[in-house]
Amino acid sequence: MKNFLILTLALILFSCNNPIVSFKKSCDRQAAKEKVEALVEVQEKIKQVERLMGKDRLYWEQDSVQQADKTYYRFRLLTKAPYVEKQLYTFWVDKNDCKAIFLEAKADSLVPYKEVEKQRLQQAKQPRQFPSFFKQFAADIAFRQQHVGEYLMNFSVEKDGSIVTTEEELLTLPIDELQTYTFTYYPDNVCCEHTDTHQILVFVPVGNTWQLTQVVTNNR
């Protein structure tokens, strides 16, 4: 009996020290996707698109990529709507570590998500400068035209869920006073919704200022 206990203990110790035996949970594709779907940027983008265009406008594309000596899962978030940018986000996840997430800034140029998160938290602590910008945007026509994107996209969401898209070089839409709008801040833009018409103006940050890039009219 004593010899049996010694043998059992030896086997346990051997198993604990044996590098072949590992209890580390692998990072499979589903686990990696769940990590990406839970990111603040992704959640906020989903809310934003659903608010502007309605549900069932987004989908994922996924594949595997090798860079240097590492392999990654790559997840692309895209929209079915005729949006300004069809591809919204691309994230890479290390196949050996689901916590090692990277945002694709440019083609194959990766930014660790921890840096993205740090920047977002720093921006959240800064005072909101957008209301003062919008006040001038509403009051000054010349200033307004200077802060309109090169091609202003107009989206009209119809009752059947279809979207009519037009493109303009100049903003002809009248802009009401500051208090007529409510502001919703997202990581990559600000949505200004008219409290009466529910028309939404979408501004993106450009340096220290903003540009109007989209106007969404909801006819549902």
Please state which of the ranges 102-111, 137-146, 177-186 shows the lowest mean pLDDT.
102-111
Number of domains in the chain: 2
Domain for residue 88, yes or no?
A: yes
Co-location of 114 and 32 in the same domain: yes
**Among candidate residues 124, 155, 178, the one where a domain is terminated:** 124
Cα 202 from Cα 52, distance rounded (Å): 10
Say yes or no: 90 and 148 in one domain.
no
Does a structural domain hold residue 6?
no
User: To the nearest whole number, what is the mean pLDDT of the chain?
Assistant: 83
55 compared with 211, residue with greater pLDDT: 211
Q: pLDDT (tens digit, 9 = 90+) per residue, 159-188?
A: 877 888 888 877 888 888 888 999 998 888
142 in the same domain as 116: no
Give the mean model confidence (pLDDT) for residues 96-116. 89
Residue 116 lies in a domain: yes
Strand partners, 204: 211
What sections of 74-216 are H helices per DSSP? 113-125, 130-139, 141-146
DSSP-derived letter for residue 86 is S
Is this prediction's pTM over 0.85? no
**pLDDT-based confidence at residue 158 (cuts at 50, 70, 90):** confident
pLDDT value, residue 85: 53
- Rounded to an integer, what distance in angstroms lies between the CA atom of residue 57 and that of residue 82? 10
CA distance 51 to 98: 30
Pair (55, 80) in one structural domain: yes
CA triple 125-126-128, angle to 5 deg:
120
Q: Look at residue 9 and tell me if it is in a domain.
A: no
Mode of pairing for the β-strands spanning 148-157 and 163-168: antiparallel
- Check whether residue 90 and residue 134 sit in a common domain: no
Q: Which one has a higher pLDDT value, 153 or 102?
A: 102
| Residue 207, in any domain of the structure | yes
Domain boundary among 99, 124, 149: 124
Which of 124, 141, 170 represents a domain boundary (last residue)?
A: 124
Confidence of residue 125 (pLDDT cuts 50, 70, 90): low
Give the count of beta carbons closer than 10 Å to the beta carbon of residue 46: 16
In a domain, 17, yes or no: no
**CB-based contacts of 212, cutoff 8 Å, min separation 6:** 137, 147, 148, 149, 152, 171, 201, 202, 203
For residue 179, the SS3 value is helix
Integer Cα distance of 45 and 186 in angstroms: 8
Listed in sequence order, the DSSP H helices in 18-154 are: 29-37, 40-53, 113-125, 130-139, 141-146
Radius of gyration (C-alpha) of the chain in whole angstroms: 24
Residue 40 near residue 187, CB atoms below 8 Å: yes
Residue 193 sits in a domain of what CATH number?
3.10.450
Range of the domain at 191: 129-218
- Statement to judge: residues 144 and 193 lie in one domain: yes
Strands in 148-157's sheet, in edge-to-edge order, are: 163-168, 148-157, 209-218, 200-206, 189-194, 181-186
Tell me which of 44-48, 51-55, 197-201, 214-218 is least confident. 51-55
